[in-house]
Amino acid sequence: MPNEFEIIDELRRAVGAAPPGVEVGIGDDTAVLAPSVSDGRTLVTVDLIAEGSHFTIPPATARQIGHKALGVNLSDIAAMAGRPTCAFLAVELPRSRGADFARELFAGVQDLARQFDVTLAGGDTNIWDGPLIVSITLMGEITGGRPVLRSGARPGDWLFVTGSLGGSLASGRHLAVRPRILEAQKLHATVDLHALIDLSDGLSRDLRHITVEQGLGACLAAERIPIHPDVPADLPHDVRLQRALDDGEDFELLFAVSPEDGQRLLDSPPIETPLHWIGTVLPDADRCQLDFANGRRVSLEAGGFEHQF
């Protein structure tokens, strides 16, 4: 079984020559990033996923876990409408799973990194007798002259989501995160995004970050919530809707725009990923409601996933 250093060396060779923005990548005591990577304002995000908490093995494979570890970070960069640049990967590898498992994990990270032009510029590799723990720090640049924050929605704004929601954890879709990096950049270049967030904890919970936490409310149209086909079709409709609202790990975008910009998006969508108008921002602080086509109105509770002690 190769040791930590041989594994790192394999990884370094797999990553290959660093692009101009990364003066020194894997192999020295720290990475050295050239101004083109860290010029102006830099986006930095870190996420950690652990066996037993975020996934179990099986059904998750090493490759899928590597993909997800970078995917969740990419989704955060997307949520700022940013462009990812460099990643740093820290792992605690379970000794019992062996070197091929580590190789597969790194391959999962590298495949997605290549897809989005991300350079793996450093990290830390440990082998132990505990479960798998993977943490990635991802850096990025702002696009369009500014990052798009969670704050900034205004009363009357239209709320949109990309893709469709629900069933991600049960189906295993959460492992195959498709970060909406290009979609967010395209939207940012086309309209004035007032507020933007990625959906990790479920729409009902993440909605509050751009509304309630900003002293605003929201009214969602129940029949407009896009329910993912991963939510079993034989469930009662209300249950399916609840799953779309609460399940989480969708890694779709939720954003607020003016009604004029919202109409432009509906008239000529700038992205191929489906865009759904789902509701409106209300001026009333702390009021989130769900309106049904038949006139029924219910209060929208934050039912999404929450880590608890």
Distance of closest approach, residue 136 Cβ to ligand ADP, in angstroms: 9
Cα separation, 189 vs 225, in Å, equals 25
Q: Does 11 bind ligand ADP (CB under 6 A)?
A: yes
Q: Does the footprint of ligand ADP cover residue 179 (CB under 6 A)? A: no
Q: Please, which of residues 118-177 interact with Mg ion by CB under 5 A?
A: 124
Q: State how far the alpha carbon of 49 is from the alpha carbons of 72, 90, 133, 178, in Å.
A: 9, 11, 6, 17
Minimum gap (Å) between residue 12 Cβ and ligand ADP: 7
Q: Which is nearer to Mg ion, 81 or 91 (CB)?
A: 91
27 is a contact residue toward ligand ADP (CB under 6 A): yes
Write the CA distances from 191 to 226, 233, 257, integer angstroms. Answer: 22, 35, 8
Give the nearer residue to Mg ion in terms of CB position, either 135 or 143: 135
Of the pair 24, 221, the CB lying nearest ligand ADP is at: 24
* Vertex 287 angle, CA 281 and 293, to 5°: 70
Q: Are 65 and 57 in contact (CB under 8 A)?
A: yes
- Does residue 28 interact with Mg ion by CB under 5 A? no
Residue 123 interaction partner, one of Mg ion, ligand ADP, none, beta carbon < 5-8 Å per kind: ligand ADP
Q: Is the dihedral of CA 55, 60, 62, 66 positive or negative?
A: negative
Count of residues binding ligand ADP (CB under 6 A)?
13
> Which lies closer to ligand ADP via its Cβ, residue 71 or residue 122?
122
Q: How many CB atoms lie under 10 A from the CB of residue 60? A: 19
* In the block, residue with structure tokens 């969708």: 250
List residues binding Mg ion (CB under 5 A).
Answer: 124
